[in-house]
Amino acid sequence: MTSFLNVDYCTGSLEIGGPHVQISATPRHELFFQVPASKYTDFQGSIFNACKERFSGTKVFESPETTDSCWRVKDGEILCPGTRKEIHKLILSIPVIWGIEIEAALEFGIIYDLVGFVLVDFQGTHFIARYATDDGTKIYTYDSMRHNGYPVHVEEMTFDAHMSGKNPQLPDGFMIWAATYVLRGGLAAQDKFYRIRTKEYATRYNLGFSEVTLDKLPTVSYHRAGFQEMDKKGRKWLFNPHANKTAEYISTPIPSRPPAQDGLESEDEMVAPIASQVSLPDSDFALNCRCGATGDGNLVYHQQDGEVVQCDECRDWSHIACQRHGRASNLLPKDQFLCDDCDPKAIQDLLPTKRTSTRRLMKACTLMNKRLEDRLRPGRAGLVRCSSFWYPVRVIQREGPKTWRVRWWRGCQFVDGGIEPGSLASISMDDIVDSLWLKRAERRKIRLGKWTHPHNLPTSEDILSDPESIRYTDEVHKALEPHKGPLRRLLTSPNSLHPEVSHEAIPAKKWLADNGKPLKKTLIPHVGTLSVIERAQIANWFEKTVSMSKKLRIQWMGLLPIAHAHTLFIAYRMAKDSTFESIPELEILRKAWEVQLTGSTAILREIDVDKECLESLEEEMFERTERTGISGNWQWGLDVGHHQDGWDPSFGVPENWDEKKRMGTRTSPFPSQFNERIYRPTQKENERNQIKSNAR
């Protein structure tokens, strides 16, 4: 992990009090270091050059970036006429362990030693590791499926032949996915870097640091004569100035109430709508959502996925509709939001404690005493009426006072064939309900449509390894059908000089060539913001219409042909955006490849948020316990008739949702992996205990 800070200067004006400065009050953190495709030429394809610029800070020191407007903006209105200069990503600390592509060690006193790398098979589903001892004399391999999961020393392997260089010897069917480096000198070197940098920043930028070492996270202050820190209450242009991680310093005192011409209300008058919290910034912003959407938000964010919220710790943005149990949907202006990466214990706040009854927790989770329009919220699942039946959806965003945007569950089996499972829809408030927790009378009026239970679906790994797992959609077919010829040629003759598969026409092919990697065997894990489901649908289309044989899977799964299909699909979606109306097709394709590279590989991180959401809904719908009472006793549809095709929706659900079938578990409003184990004595034990009690 690296930590850094930002400094912004603005010339200001006499009307608003002269120059002012904004700094990071506490350093920000960055878990991963990625070099975007747009920087490839600048760095001559070398991670070494990128790291040299990043760690030395030469470019940042010599040429701060000048922008047109100040950061004081409210509801699109610029409140300061000054000119802004940005000095961003001032590195304070460098990572001790760092995963990047294989390159040489760094100069200027910083040295990273290669210690190991991760290998992945061509299908992208099986990972193994290879690493060296500190002195590089022994090489170990680790494969969880072999040797009982223990690492094994391979005597015939050497560091020079099997670890270093551009083409180390690898096992058949595997490629390098990531490399791991260790900072020479470890924590001592990291601490020395911090001391050198803070001293330089203090002299160059008038910054002060509360800590002289990295034992504690420092706070940052500004110490230039004639400047003083601005009161947080005065920063009315911020949605939540008290939670904001920046501090602003001004050259003259400001009045307690901003001038009327600034168009700012007093603190009592200012009521910020929820939309302000989730509106996107005008400048670059990082999207890093648990659903797998990761990268430059200006490229990878899609409005159809709903509003986003910024983490108060890492400053990355996440989809509100992707947060567990809708926890980010009703935040108040002064509420803090921390993403799962910054606060992995967030889920614990939703679990019962010894002092909290599960019924009270369920009341808080379902908002059972509120009106339906208040109970529905992004990040929760619901049921939507289609013809005579109701089918599950995930709520994405409110589109109006009486309208919701939702995504149909991909396992829905509609009577009406005109609706595509997994698609988006705008739904009237009259046609949507939630789990109707403890609402027996309302449940009796709902006839359920037929769908596949989420716990019966294969895992992400199973889906990606089997192109037949999910059928492709009309959207995938429309996007890829015009390019079937080039894709087939790319599969059969990737080295062809035909214009259809030239480097200009196939950005992924150019990327491989520029990096000196073989076209037929190099794994391309970059998928941009494509979800597991979308990638599975593209793979299904590819096998059905291009390869047309299971035997050819080894020639395209995870490799160049399917990577280009991903690029084409991303480009198809981008072309429908009005922003790209006048841009040539090849330019859109190049932009799509940038999006594909900008997003993380997502192989190890992505959460199936639709599946997670429906699992919670189903447990609320079909739980039969003492706390659910008669409302949980098969009440769905009793007053209106059979469910679709005579389907029993409660058949096949996990047995621990039924108290009579469950052995030794206490119910929870959340998926059963969080349920608490308790001991229940048998009837004979109860009788024996009663005899002992009577004897006393």
With beta carbons less than 8 A apart as the criterion, state whether 592 and 564 touch: no
Q: Count Cβ atoms below 10 Å from residue 687 Cβ, excluding itself.
A: 11
Is the sign of the CA dihedral 268, 269, 274, 275 positive or negative?
negative
Within 10 Å of residue 577's Cβ, how many Cβ atoms? 12
Cα distance between residue 79 and residue 56, in whole Å: 35
* CA 250 – CA 21 distance, rounded (Å): 7
Consecutive H or E run containing 85: strand 84-93
Both 513 and 488 in a single domain? yes
Domain membership flag for residue 685 = no
pLDDT digits (tens, 9 = 90+) for 488-513: 999 999 999 899 999 989 999 999 99
User: Could you tell me if residue 567 is inside a domain?
Assistant: yes
Q: Is the pLDDT of residue 145 over 60?
A: yes
Q: What is the pLDDT of residues 213-224, one digit of tens each?
A: 888 888 999 998
Edge to edge, the sheet with strand 432-433 lists 424-428, 403-408, 389-400, 381-386, 432-433
User: pLDDT value at position 258?
Assistant: 40
The span from the CA of 282 to the CA of 284, in Å, is: 7
Strand partners, 97: 182
What is the Cα–Cα distance from 283 to 378, expressed in whole angstroms?
A: 26
Query: What is the average pLDDT across 14-29?
Result: 83
Q: Tally the domains of the chain.
A: 3
> Count of CB atoms within 10 A of residue 325's CB?
22
pLDDT digits (tens, 9 = 90+) for 157-194: 999 899 887 788 999 888 887 788 888 888 888 888 88
Give the chain's largest Cα–Cα span. Answer: 95
Question: Is 233 in the same domain as 92?
Answer: yes
Which residue, 109, 119, 95, is CA-closest to 178?
Answer: 119
Beta-carbon contacts of residue 259 (< 8 Å; ≥ 6 apart): 15
Write the burial class of residue 41 (CB in 10 Å: 0-12 exposed, 13-18 middle, 19+ buried): exposed
> Of 167, 183, 199, which closes a domain?
183
Cα distances (angstroms) measured from residue 547 to each of 138, 181, 214, 397:
43, 39, 55, 39
Q: State whether 118 and 257 are in the same domain.
A: no
Task: Evaluate whether residue 17 is within a structural domain.
Answer: yes
Beta carbons of 386 and 416 less than 8 angstroms apart = yes
Q: What is the pTM of this model?
A: 0.55
Lowest mean pLDDT among 72-76, 85-89, 387-391, 521-525: 72-76
Do 534 and 491 lie in one domain? The reply is: yes
SS (HEC) of 248-308: EEECCCCCCCCCHHHCCCCCCCCCCCHHHHHCCCCCCCEEECCCCCEEEHHHHCCHHHCCE
Sheet containing strand 174-183, edge to edge, reads: 97-100, 174-183, 112-121, 127-132, 139-142, 152-153
Residue-wise DSSP of 378-390? TT-EEEEEETTEE
Same domain for 134 and 59, yes or no, is no
Question: Above 80 in pLDDT, residue 458?
Answer: no
Which is nearest to 591 in space by CA: 250, 295, 280? 295
The DSSP code for 497 is -
Residue 313 lies in a domain: no
Mean pLDDT of all residues in 241-245:
74
Residues in Cβ contact with 646 at an 8 Å cutoff, skipping those fewer than 6 apart: none
Q: How far apart are CA 73 and CA 80, in angstroms?
A: 8
Residue 377 confidence (pLDDT): 92
Query: In this structure, is residue 85 part of a structural domain?
Result: yes
Q: Are residues 197 and 94 in the same domain?
A: yes
- Give the CA count within 13 Å in the CB-facing half-sphere of 619: 25
Of 428, 425, 448, 426, nearest to 436 by C-alpha is 448
**φ, ψ (nearest 5 deg) of residue 189:** -65, -40
Whole-angstrom Cα distance, residue 142 to residue 126? Answer: 12
- The CB-side HSE value for 180 (13 A sphere, CA atoms) comes to 14
**Residues 153 and 215 occupy one common structural domain:** no
Residue 135 is encoded by which pair of tokens?
């002195």
From residue 317, alpha-carbon distances to 235, 310, 350, 467 in Å are 22, 4, 22, 32
Residues 18 and 50 in one domain: yes
User: Which alpha helices (H) appear in 496-648, and where do they start and end?
Assistant: 507-514, 532-542, 560-575, 585-598, 609-622
CA distance 338 to 311: 5
Average pLDDT, the chain: 79
pLDDT number for residue 42: 67
Confidence of residue 67 (pLDDT cuts 50, 70, 90): low
Do 91 and 8 share a domain, yes or no? yes
Same-domain status, 474 and 591: yes
Residue 378 has pLDDT above 50, yes or no: yes
Choose one of 183, 200, 232: the last residue of a domain: 183
Please tell me whether residues 94 and 153 are part of one structural domain: no
Q: Which residue among 545, 568, 598 closes a domain?
A: 598
Burial class for 584, CB neighbours closer than 10 Å (0-12, 13-18, 19+): exposed
Q: Which two tokens stand for residue 566?
A: 């991903």
Cα 29 to Cα 398: distance, rounded to the nearest angstrom: 32
User: 299-336, pLDDT tens digit by residue?
Assistant: 778 888 899 998 887 788 999 999 988 889 888 877 88
In a domain, 503, yes or no: yes
Is residue 24 included in any domain, yes or no?
Answer: yes
- Out of 77-91, 146-160, 632-646, pick the least confident: 77-91
Residues 172 and 234 placed together within one structural domain of the fold: no
- Report the C-alpha gap between 179 and 469 in whole angstroms: 31
| Domain annotation covers residue 676 | no
One-letter amino acid of 615: E
State the pLDDT at residue 556.
Answer: 93
Find the domain containing 8 and state its range. Answer: 2-98+188-270
Torsion 381-383-386-391 (CA) sign:
positive
